């Protein structure tokens, strides 16, 4: 009986081996089988999953960028491909006083707005990290700048800054702070500051939400132990909270700098670069040269002039982020 049983087991094993061989044969030789074996390699599978993203980035980012570089090296205008002029457009805009002012405005606009968003965003995140009545209402209100479209909210700010019908001027006048109307967007000395204020209002929630998420990961026992040792709230912030939030702060600041440096729609809706070029940034001046005047080559050169500066800022920040994370 045991011999018969052994024959059955041996026969079953042989049939299983034959079935495995027959199953594996088409998998190794057919196109579908070769593709299935390739998918077992994680590197091949990862590359295939990334392929749609790479194609989209190539179509919507790489091609326009290369096309812009080519245009900046030509004398192209609307309806005229122009001639290859090498770096003539860059030399021309470098000696342009309006371009120089736009460059200075861009750095001031980005620097002041980033510091303002960081300071107010941190304050709001620390406030929302506490328990108080109306916390949900404050958190919902904080999302308004994100919910409302940029152009619509910017038009609201433009009405608030209107020298004749401005609710801001009316309030300041009746409170006794001013005696005459202030041209928030028509006075060259006030326009850039007013635009920066709107940018801070719009970007502050992004900082607050991100920093609040970082605060949720800080162990409360660290603050409790420091409080028992006699540390003040200010000391606990600088010795505990700030070092733990530094990596996420650097990341959110990096994204904010990139977005603010290339800002267009907010400035364009509020002032269009005026008055007297007082609020022109790289993006708005490139639009004025390339679209309004039709000088596509010079406009492309202005828009690409910000790339080396922004690239240098990003490289320095990424280096610092890695240094902080590795410390």
pLDDT of residue 44: 73
Q: Evaluate whether residue 317 is within a structural domain.
A: yes
B/e letters for 179-190, b = 16+ CB within 10 Å, e = fewer, are eeebbbbbeeeb
- Answer yes or no: do 33 and 110 share one domain: no
Q: Evaluate whether residue 206 is within a structural domain.
A: yes
Q: Is 74 helix (H, G, I), strand (E, B) or coil?
A: strand
- Answer yes or no: do 174 and 32 share one domain: no
- Answer yes or no: do 106 and 26 share one domain: no
Q: What is the dihedral of CA 59, 146, 166, 171, to 10 degrees?
A: -160
pLDDT tens for 265-307 read 999 999 999 899 999 999 999 999 998 988 999 999 998 988 8
pLDDT of residue 123: 93
HEC string of 108-153 equals HHHHHHHHHHHHHHHHHHHHHCCCCCCHHHHHHHHCHHHHCCHHHH
- Answer yes or no: do 186 and 320 share one domain: yes
- Answer yes or no: do 159 and 225 share one domain: yes
pLDDT tens for 78-92 read 888 888 989 999 999
| Contact indicator for 77, 294 with CB cutoff of 8 Å | yes
Q: How many distinct structural domains can be found in the chain? A: 2
- Answer yes or no: do 218 and 282 share one domain: yes
Q: Evaluate whether residue 47 is within a structural domain.
A: no
| DSSP 8-state assignment for residue 133 | T
- Answer yes or no: do 1 and 130 share one domain: no
pLDDT of residue 47: 77
- Answer yes or no: do 104 and 36 share one domain: no
- Answer yes or no: do 321 and 203 share one domain: yes
| Contact indicator for 192, 109 with CB cutoff of 8 Å | yes
Query: In this structure, what CATH number is given to the domain that contains residue 211?
Result: 1.10.3720.10
Q: Evaluate whether residue 66 is within a structural domain.
A: no
Q: Is 259 helix (H, G, I), strand (E, B) or coil?
A: helix
- Answer yes or no: do 7 and 132 share one domain: no
pLDDT of residue 91: 92
Over its length of 327 residues, how does the chain's per-residue pLDDT go in tens digits? 444 445 544 455 555 555 555 454 444 556 666 666 766 777 777 777 888 888 888 888 888 888 889 999 999 888 888 889 899 999 999 999 999 999 999 999 999 999 999 999 999 999 888 888 877 888 888 888 878 888 899 999 999 998 887 888 888 888 888 888 888 999 999 999 999 999 999 999 999 999 998 998 888 888 888 888 888 888 888 988 898 898 889 889 988 998 999 899 999 999 999 899 999 999 999 999 998 988 999 999 998 988 888 888 888 888 887 887 666
Entry pTM: 0.80
Range of the domain at 14: 1-40
Q: Is 186 helix (H, G, I), strand (E, B) or coil?
A: coil
- Answer yes or no: do 238 and 135 share one domain: yes
Q: Evaluate whether residue 308 is within a structural domain.
A: yes
Q: Evaluate whether residue 73 is within a structural domain.
A: no
Q: Evaluate whether residue 272 is within a structural domain.
A: yes
Q: Evaluate whether residue 233 is within a structural domain.
A: yes
- Answer yes or no: do 102 and 18 share one domain: no
């Amino acid at each position: 009986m045991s011999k018969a049983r052994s024959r059955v087991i041996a026969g079953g094993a042989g049939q299983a081996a034959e079935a495995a061989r027959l199953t594996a044969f088409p998998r190794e030789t057919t196109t579908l089988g070769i593709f299935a074996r390739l998918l077992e390699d994680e590197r091949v599978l990862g590359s295939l999953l990334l392929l749609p993203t790479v194609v989209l980035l190539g179509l919507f980012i790489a091609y326009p960028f290369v096309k812009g570089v080519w245009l900046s090296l030509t004398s192209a205008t609307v309806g005229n491909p122009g001639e290859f002029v090498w770096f003539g457009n860059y030399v021309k805009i470098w000696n342009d006083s309006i371009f120089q002012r736009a460059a200075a405005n861009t750095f001031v606009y980005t620097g002041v707005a980033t510091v303002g968003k960081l300071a107010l965003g941190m304050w709001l995140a620390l406030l929302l990290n506490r328990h108080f009545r109306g916390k949900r209402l404050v958190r919902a209100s904080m999302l308004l700048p994100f919910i409302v479209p940029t152009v619509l909210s910017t038009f609201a700010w433009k009405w608030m800054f209107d020298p004749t019908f401005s609710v801001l001027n009316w309030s300041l006048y009746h409170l006794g702070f001013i005696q005459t109307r202030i041209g928030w967007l028509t006075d060259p000395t006030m326009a850039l500051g007013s635009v920066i204020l709107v940018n801070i209002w719009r970007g502050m929630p992004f900082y607050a939400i991100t920093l609040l998420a970082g605060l949720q990961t800080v162990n409360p026992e660290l603050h409790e132990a420091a409080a028992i040792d006699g540390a003040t709230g200010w000391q606990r912030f600088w010795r505990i909270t700030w070092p733990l939030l530094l990596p996420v702060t650097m990341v959110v600041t990096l994204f904010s700098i990139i977005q603010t440096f290339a800002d267009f729609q907010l400035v364009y809706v509020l002032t269009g670069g005026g008055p007297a070029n007082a609020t022109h940034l790289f993006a708005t001046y490139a639009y004025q040269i390339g679209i309004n005047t039709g000088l596509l080559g010079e406009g492309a050169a202005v828009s690409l002039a910000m790339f080396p500066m922004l690239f240098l800022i990003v490289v320095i920040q990424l280096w610092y982020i890695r240094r902080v994370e590795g410390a």
